[in-house]
Amino acid sequence: MTADKQSKKRQQTELERLREENELLQIENEYLKKLRALVQEEEDNKRKSSKS
């Protein structure tokens, strides 16, 4: 394999790795957004019930 082909193969492998990492980070980000919303909702409910 020529140096150029090896370089392209490494670049392709790195690109695939970065895409996978990006997808995982997007999933994690969505999870954290939902978790934050749930925590906020619980805190709001506690405040409402303590005011009653």
pLDDT higher than 80, residue 51: no
b/e per residue 33-50 (b: at least 16 CB within 10 A): eeeeeeeeeeeeeeeeee
pLDDT of the residue at 12? 97
- Is pLDDT above 70 for 45? yes
Please write the tens of the pLDDT for every residue from 33-44.
Answer: 999 999 999 999
Total domains, the chain: 1
The predicted model scores a pTM of: 0.75
Q: How far is 23 from 27, CA to CA, in rounded Å?
A: 6
> Which residues span the domain enclosing 45?
1-52
